Amino acid sequence: MTNQMIKNNLTADCESCFGLCCVALPYAKSADFPVDKDIGSPCRNLQEDFRCGIHKQLRKKGYKGCTVYECFGAGQKVSQITYNGLDWRKQPDKAKEMFDVFPIMQQLHEMLCYLKEAQTLEEAIPLQLKLQDIYVKIEQLTYLEAADILTLDIPAYRVVVNELLLQTSELVRSNVRSTKKTNGKNLLGAKLRRADLKGSDFRGALLIAADLREADLRVCDFIGADMRDANLSGANLEGSFFLTQAQINSSKGNDETKLPYTLKRPKHW
């Protein structure tokens, strides 16, 4: 992959990364992982070529958490651009710094991903100039030197981006309203089968293990929603936005589930 392709890629390209998510990030023994792992400690399944030794068996081996993680292209940006293709094994003195930069880059790329999607939404045309302006500013931050990236005030940038994404959401959903009102953001295990929820704001909602079978979920805002084990069998999510592949991967569904055209049906459904 060329540097130009890496610059414009907001989805993970593991072949161009130094396995950063497998080293920099910690995880605890749980339903998502079979063991504990500390920050900066390589996963036991990480090979010398930075590939995963059990990639095709992650769920079977208990590493479901790996299958629902998305770096939004931050891994290859840090590996090939910030550190010029020199991995943490070749320069151990830079390893910790690289591991600290990675999650910050992930947040920057996540913002870019949502801003890019917002710019494709016809209803958000009135916000195009503002969306493009902040997109360019955030993108420029991703090319800073590592030391400068570590000093960034990420929450401050998130406030600005969040406000624009909220305005975008309101514009997109303004003419589509559901007949059923959801009870706040805590929808853990909620029984919503066949519910008319079109145009709903699920921003940051807990949809863990929610029963959404055959529900009308068209044109909904799913940004930051926790959809682990939510049952989407037969549900219609066409036109929904700020919905990531990682969120879909963490949920349950079937051949009747209708997804936005930008997302793929997970193999485990």
pLDDT in tens, 197-233: 999 999 999 999 999 999 999 999 999 999 999 999 9
Strand pairing partners for 211? Answer: 191, 231
pLDDT at 246 over 60: yes
pTM above 0.85, yes or no: yes
- Dump pLDDT digits (tens) for 34-88: 999 999 999 999 999 999 999 999 999 999 999 999 999 999 999 999 999 999 9
Q: What percent of the chain has pLDDT over 90?
A: 91
pLDDT at 20 over 90: yes
- Dump pLDDT digits (tens) for 150-165: 999 999 999 999 999 9
Report the distance separating Cα 88 and Cα 96, nearest Å: 8
Structural domain spans, the chain: 3-25+69-172, 177-263
Contact yes or no for 172/200 (Cβ under 8 A) = no
Report the distance separating Cα 49 and Cα 94, nearest Å: 19
Burial of 132: CB neighbours in 10 Å, binned 0-12, 13-18, 19+: middle
Which residue do the tokens 């145009």 mark? 199
Nearest Cα neighbor of 75 from 1, 128, 134, 136 is 1
C-alpha radius of gyration, the chain, whole number: 19
End-to-end CA distance of the chain, in Å?
A: 31
- Dump pLDDT digits (tens) for 174-202: 988 777 767 678 999 999 999 999 999 99
Q: What percent of the chain has pLDDT over 70?
A: 96
Amino acid residing at 122: E
Burial of 114: CB neighbours in 10 Å, binned 0-12, 13-18, 19+: buried
pLDDT at 3 over 90: no
Please give the mean pLDDT across all residues of the chain: 94
- pLDDT at position 8 is 57
- pLDDT at position 242 is 97
Q: For the domain 177-263, what is the CATH code?
A: 2.160.20.80
